Amino acid sequence: MVLTMKPAWIAVLCVLMAARLSVSLEEDTELAEQDGKERCARWMRGVPGTPGFDGIPGQDGRDGREGEKGDNGEPGPKGPNGEPGEAGDEGPAGKRGFPGNPGLKGESGEGSFPYRSAFSMGLTGKTSSASRAPIRFTKAFYNEQHHYDDISGKFRCAIPGIYYFTYHLTINGKETKVAMFKNGQTVAFTLDQFHNGNLDQASGGVILNLSAGDEVWLQLYDDVFDAGIYADTNNDSTFTGFLLTPKILSNPTDNRRR
Ligand SMILES: *[C@@H]1O[C@H](CO)[C@@H](O)[C@H](O)[C@H]1NC(C)=O
Ligand SMILES: *[C@@H]1O[C@H](CO)[C@@H](O)[C@H](O)[C@H]1NC(C)=O
């Protein structure tokens, strides 16, 4: 450092040296009178110089190592609400509720007349002796639906269902064989073995399952051409039939067929 010192600094040093030199001026009186530069040079080799001034501050050092992680900060403010989630599964069925109030009164239904069928007929006198033909009952006790035809002497079924038929005949004068027919087949027989001097009663009754169009009547059988079936104003012979249970069809108009 001393070697690179500028001349100005060297001059200052020499002055300082010269100040010290005055202390030993007595012993070097001769030298003091010589050239100043030479004397300064001589001193340089001798005593070490005083330390120089501090240099200018150096550049900043490199960054230090990363420090330890700090404590967690305070929680931030609450965020906005998220989107609604998907609907959950269907829950179990609830308990059965209380019974509801009674409903309104329904409209009045159609009359039961279409399902009514009955007749009760009588004889007005001694029957004709006709055989192989229905006995014609022409005295009407009841035949409102006219399901009994007093021309043909046959009941014709208009409403399918279960029917009851009965007959009560007054027999006078002759043995009488009478039968109930259904569509040409005998279904019930009555034999009255008449004895002179009496008025007999011949009767019978059956339940029949009829379809629409079936025909039922009373007729003599065994090729009898004459019989004792009798009636007058005080003694009746009757033929009666009526519907017990209609068979309700899916199409009610079928029940009204005549
Ligand atoms: C009546 O006859 C019909 C037709 O033959 C039949 O379908 C029905 O079952 C019968 N009813 C009874 C009670 O016998
Ligand atoms: C019919 O009945 C009446 C009264 O019961 C009786 O007087 C009369 O004799 C009967 N007719 C016949 C033919 O028996």
Measure the N-to-C terminal CA separation of the chain; round to a whole number of Å: 151
Question: Model-level pTM?
Answer: 0.57
Assign 3-state DSSP to the chain and report helix, strand, coil percentages, each to 5. Answer: 15, 30, 55
Residue spans of beta strands (DSSP E) within 45-129: 118-122
Across the range 201-224, mean pLDDT stands at: 91
d(CA 120, CA 135): 14
Instruction: Using the mean position of ligand 2's atoms as its centre, give its distance from the Cα of residue 188 in Å.
Output: 28
The ligand that comes nearest to the alpha carbon of residue 172 is 2
Instruction: Using the mean position of ligand 2's atoms as its centre, give its distance from the Cα of residue 123 in Å.
Output: 15
Q: Choose one of 159, 208, 247 to mutate for the ligand 1 pocket test, by most ligand atoms within 8 angstroms of C-beta.
A: 247
**Domain topology for 118-246:** Jelly Rolls (2.60.120)
**pLDDT value for 109:** 67
Q: Which sign does the torsion angle of CA 123, 147, 182, 151 carry?
A: positive
Please tell me which residue, 5 or 156, carries the higher pLDDT value.
156
Residues with CB under 6 A from ligand 1: 209, 211
**pLDDT value for 1:** 46
Report which of 168, 177, 178, 232 is spatially closest to residue 201, judged by C-alpha positions.
Answer: 168
The total of other beta-carbon atoms located within 10 Å of residue 203's CB is: 14
Per-residue pLDDT tens for 125-181?
876 556 678 999 999 999 999 999 999 999 999 999 999 999 999 988 888 889 999
**pLDDT value for 233:** 87
**pLDDT value for 89:** 92
Residues forming beta bridges with residue 192, ordered by sequence position: 176
Report which of 52, 50, 34 is spatially closest to residue 42, judged by C-alpha positions.
Answer: 34
pLDDT above 60 for 15? no
Q: Among the residues of 6-121, which ranges form H helices?
A: 7-21, 29-32, 36-44
Which ligand 2 atom is nearest residue 199's CA?
14
Domain ranges of the chain: 118-246
For the chain, give the mean pLDDT: 81
Per-residue pLDDT tens for 23-47?
444 444 444 455 555 555 555 567 7
Report which of 213, 210, 208 is spatially closest to residue 257, judged by C-alpha positions.
Answer: 213
Going from the C-alpha of 36 to that of each of 28, 49, 119, 203, the distances in angstroms are 13, 18, 180, 190
